[in-house]
Amino acid sequence: MSKERDYYFEQYQDRKMKKWAGFYLSEHTAIIEQEKKRQPAEKKIQMSWTEIDEVLAQAFQNQVEVRIQKEELDCEGHYGADIIGRIQGHDELGIFVGGHKIGYDEIRHVQLY
């Protein structure tokens, strides 16, 4: 048995970095995904109240999801991620979308999703 074992180690060639390539790839992919999340949301055009009202009415009547960008900047001056969901209800101050209450005056841009 020792001859077989010795033969194995004599013939064995280490693949060196090739065997670690999969780990680097998955790490690299994870870093890229984190960077995508950190990228600021694009600044969308400011819609008029009439345009916002039309899109919200259409979405509410047809039970279609909306994508809303709030008029809110973080400490670095970037817009936050869009809020996506169906309009669950509304009152005189705002709408309820995806568990969030959004005031009408906070909406910068809205589109059907």
Quickly state the pLDDT bin for 16 (edges 50, 70, 90).
low
Selected from 2.10.25, 2.30.30, 3.10.450, 1.10.1740, the CATH number assigned to the domain covering 49-112 reads 2.30.30
**Alpha-carbon distances, residue 67 vs 11, 75, 110 (angstroms):** 61, 23, 6
96 forms beta bridges with: 89, 101
What's this model's pTM, rounded to 2 decimal places? 0.64
List pLDDT tens digits, range 55-65: 999 999 999 99
87 forms beta bridges with: 97
- Domain edges within the chain: 2-38, 49-112
Better-scored residue on pLDDT, 111 or 9: 111
Cβ contact 113:84 at 8 Å: yes
